[in-house]
């Protein structure tokens, strides 16, 4: 496979085929750097050498009635995850202060819920208005489960820039990991977010036992939705979930190839290496900046991660630069 010519085709407005995308994931180790280089040509064209930092705030933890088997925040997971209801506005604002102190471009309020109730929605909207008044350039993302158009519009009017709702995996594999809602409901919420004018952040989780074709299918499903931002998580098996104690099928190389494949299929989307980054990519973390242009820093919803200082060093050592909120890409 000539990866350079595939990247040139994509840069000229063409597409990668599903067969070629699968070939990325099946590539021998000797092809790894050539594929990374090809993905980087696309990434550099649209995003230069900038890395957008996002900071998460778990505004409601461990209270979700859904049964996503990978998630430690489902009430079906038996573990010691912190369980609390929606945080008050002042606590959510403190999270925004911490995000700004870490040069974050976006602050993401995430709630473990099937769908926000009216009080929860009002709290997120009030916090957004106050954060925007204090930090006009800080972009606000929220992840609140399934939305109706009415709920999505309230977020939009309050000033939320982006809504996150992951597809998690392929349509085919989805019933293996979630039974309390279906893939179509997730697609529907993603479409509602776009319809009301919210940026759509929509990604998934690799390493749950899905096939390589399932990984490709997820990437193309995201392309069909024309997503603005794609978080790619790698399974970090959590206590109390069925995955705990089982070996993680993702190697650093396979994770890097998955990111490259995602970049080929979704050339203009912001691509974020999300949860599981440190544990899965390990010594290859800095290579992830070649296909991806964004990370979460300072940990995730229920797990720790590298500190902002460590991530800043990682970015600088790799020759990339942090994208500051309110500044444009240098592409
Ligand atoms: S809907 Fe979200 S918070 Fe709830 S169990 Fe699934 S992944 Fe976890």
**pLDDT, tens digit (0-9, with 9 covering 90-100), for 129-143:** 999 999 999 999 999
Strand pairing partners for 52? 294, 323
The answer to whether the Cα torsion of 17, 18, 21, 27 is positive or negative is negative
- Which residue's CA is minimally distant from atom 2 of ligand 1? 112
Please tell me the distance between residue 152's alpha carbon and the centre of ligand 1 in angstroms.
18
Measured distance CA(328)–CA(148) in Å, rounded: 32
Please tell me the distance between residue 166's alpha carbon and the centre of ligand 1 in angstroms.
10
pLDDT digits 0-9 by tens, 288-303: 999 999 998 877 787 7
- Report whether residue 73 contacts ligand 1, using a CB cutoff of 6 Å: yes
Measured distance CA(315)–CA(310) in Å, rounded: 9
Q: Which atom in ligand 1 lies closest to the alpha carbon of residue 114? A: 1
Pocket probe mutation, ligand 1, options 70, 112, 114, max atoms within 8 Å of Cβ:
112
Cα R_g (the chain), whole angstroms: 19
What does the domain layout of the chain look like in residue ranges?
3-323
- Report whether residue 164 contacts ligand 1, using a CB cutoff of 6 Å: no
pLDDT digits 0-9 by tens, 51-110: 999 888 889 998 889 999 988 888 888 777 889 999 999 999 999 999 999 888 899 999
Please tell me the distance between residue 68's alpha carbon and the centre of ligand 1 in angstroms.
6
Assign domain 3-323 to its CATH superfamily: Aldolase class I (3.20.20.70)
Measured distance CA(157)–CA(154) in Å, rounded: 5
Run of H or E including 293: none
Is the pLDDT confidence value at 154 over 80?
yes
pLDDT digits 0-9 by tens, 166-219: 999 999 999 999 999 999 999 999 999 999 999 999 999 999 999 999 999 999
Tokens linked to 44: 């550099």
Q: What pLDDT does residue 327 have?
A: 62
Q: Which atom in ligand 1 lies closest to the alpha carbon of residue 64? A: 4
Average pLDDT over residues 274-301: 92
Please tell me the distance between residue 1's alpha carbon and the centre of ligand 1 in angstroms.
39
Q: Which atom in ligand 1 lies closest to the alpha carbon of residue 71? A: 8
Is the pLDDT confidence value at 329 over 60?
no
- Report whether residue 62 contacts ligand 1, using a CB cutoff of 6 Å: no
Is the pLDDT confidence value at 325 over 80?
no
The pTM (predicted TM-score) of the whole model is 0.94
Q: What pLDDT does residue 31 have?
A: 96
Q: Which atom in ligand 1 lies closest to the alpha carbon of residue 181? A: 1
Measured distance CA(147)–CA(190) in Å, rounded: 9
Q: Which atom in ligand 1 lies closest to the alpha carbon of residue 178? A: 6
Strand pairing partners for 206? 234
Tokens linked to 86: 């929606």
Please tell me the distance between residue 40's alpha carbon and the centre of ligand 1 in angstroms.
32
- Report whether residue 112 contacts ligand 1, using a CB cutoff of 6 Å: yes
- Report whether residue 66 contacts ligand 1, using a CB cutoff of 6 Å: yes
DSSP 245: T
DSSP 236: -
pLDDT digits 0-9 by tens, 210-257: 999 999 999 999 999 999 999 999 998 888 888 888 888 899 999 999
């Amino acid at each position: 496979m000539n990866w350079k010519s595939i990247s040139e085709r994509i840069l000229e407005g063409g597409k990668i085929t599903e067969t070629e995308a699968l070939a990325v994931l099946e590539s021998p180790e000797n092809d790894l750097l050539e594929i990374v280089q090809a993905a980087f040509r696309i990434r550099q064209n649209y995003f230069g050498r900038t890395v957008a930092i996002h900071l998460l705030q778990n505004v409601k933890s461990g209270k979700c009635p859904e049964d996503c088997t990978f998630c430690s925040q489902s009430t079906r997971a038996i573990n010691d995850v912190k369980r609390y209801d929606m945080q008050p506005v002042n606590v959510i604002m403190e999270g925004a202060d911490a995000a700004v102190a870490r040069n974050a471009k976006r602050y993401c309020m995430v709630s473990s819920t099937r769908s926000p109730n009216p009080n929860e929605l009002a709290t997120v909207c009030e916090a957004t208005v106050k954060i925007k008044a204090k930090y006009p350039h800080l972009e606000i993302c929220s992840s609140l489960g399934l939305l109706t158009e009415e709920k999505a519009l309230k977020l939009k009017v309050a000033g939320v820039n982006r809504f996150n709702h992951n597809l998690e995996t392929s349509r085919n594999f989805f019933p293996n990991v979630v039974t309390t809602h279906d893939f179509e409901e997730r697609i529907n919420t993603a479409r509602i977010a776009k319809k009301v004018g919210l940026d759509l952040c929509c990604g998934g989780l690799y390493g749950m036992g899905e096939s390589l074709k399932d990984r490709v299918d997820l990437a193309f499903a995201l392309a069909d939705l024309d997503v603005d931002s794609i978080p790619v998580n790698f399974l970090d098996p959590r206590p109390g979930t069925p995955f705990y104690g089982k070996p993680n099928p993702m190697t650093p190389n396979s994770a890097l190839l998955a990111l490259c494949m995602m970049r080929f299929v979704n050339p203009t989307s912001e691509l974020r290496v999300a949860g599981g980054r440190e544990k899965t990519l390990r010594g290859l973390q800095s290579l992830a900046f070649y296909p991806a242009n964004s990370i979460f820093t300072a940990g995730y919803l229920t797990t720790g991660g590298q500190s902002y200082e460590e991530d800043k060093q990682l970015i600088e050592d790799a020759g990339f630069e942090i994208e500051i909120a309110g500044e444009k890409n240098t592409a």
